[in-house]
């Protein structure tokens, strides 16, 4: 899908409506919760059937439900137990836009997704190992590299100290 170069809302909407299925799948990405973000090192992922999401805005805010169906044509998701009453008092699944959701639990039954997230069979530790104390050489290395490169594009680098003067 070529991205429109225009800022006109009608052209932006047309790009969404005429997008290919490949591009529509990218519209169905949902941000990960902070816990999943630190575990997998990703900010967002395309949502899949079987994932558990939390509704973060709207009248169902705070509810955590499993994804029951994904509609790529309308870019909406259907969640378990998120329904609306029809006029004849029957319950109908309420389609939810992905920008109202937050991924809290992933469905890792797909091999492609496990490979992308680099999931292994061994359990992941929840707390990272404490970092070693920096040595004097390690602390001096960043200071030397900072002195070599200019800070900003218009700024000059500070002059190097003379080696024989100290």
How far is it, in rounded angstroms, from Cα 27 to Cα 46?
Answer: 8
pLDDT at 126 over 50: no
C-beta separation of 53 from 69 below 8 A: no
Residues 19-65: tens digit of each pLDDT: 998 888 888 999 999 999 999 999 999 999 999 999 999 999 999 99
State the SS3 of 1-30.
CCCCCCCCHHHHHHHHHCCCHHHHHHHCEE
pLDDT at 164 over 60: yes
At 100, the pLDDT band (50, 70, 90 cuts) reads very high
Tell me, what's the pLDDT at 17?
A: 87
Q: Where are the alpha helices (DSSP H) in 41-135?
A: 111-117
Q: What percent of the chain has pLDDT over 90?
A: 53
Whether the predicted model's global pTM rises above the 0.85 cut: no
CATH of domain 28-120: 2.30.30.30
How far is it, in rounded angstroms, from Cα 90 to Cα 94?
Answer: 12
Tell me, what's the pLDDT at 11?
A: 93
The number of CA neighbours under 13 Å toward the Cβ of 159 is 3
Residues 4-21: tens digit of each pLDDT: 688 999 998 899 889 998
Tell me, what's the pLDDT at 77?
A: 94
56: Cβ contacts below 8 Å, ≥ 6 apart: 100, 101, 102
pLDDT at 78 over 90: yes
Mean pLDDT (the chain, rounded): 81
């Amino acid at each position: 899908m070529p991205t429109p170069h225009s800022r006109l809302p009608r052209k932006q909407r047309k790009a969404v409506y005429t997008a290919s299925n490949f591009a529509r799948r990218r519209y169905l990405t949902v941000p990960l919760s902070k816990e999943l973000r630190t575990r997998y090192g990703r900010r967002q992922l395309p949502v899949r059937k079987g994932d558990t999401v939390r509704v973060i805005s709207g009248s169902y805010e705070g509810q955590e439900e499993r994804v029951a169906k994904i509609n790529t044509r309308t870019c909406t998701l259907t969640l378990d137990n998120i329904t609306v009453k029809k006029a004849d008092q029957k319950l109908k699944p309420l389609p939810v836009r992905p920008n109202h959701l937050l991924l809290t639990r992933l469905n890792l039954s797909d091999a492609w997704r496990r490979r992308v997230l680099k999931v292994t069979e061994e359990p992941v530790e929840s707390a990272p190992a404490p970092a070693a104390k920096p040595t004097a050489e390690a602390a001096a290395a960043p200071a030397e590299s900072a002195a070599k490169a200019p800070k900003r594009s218009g700024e000059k680098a500070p002059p190097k100290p003379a080696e024989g003067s100290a």
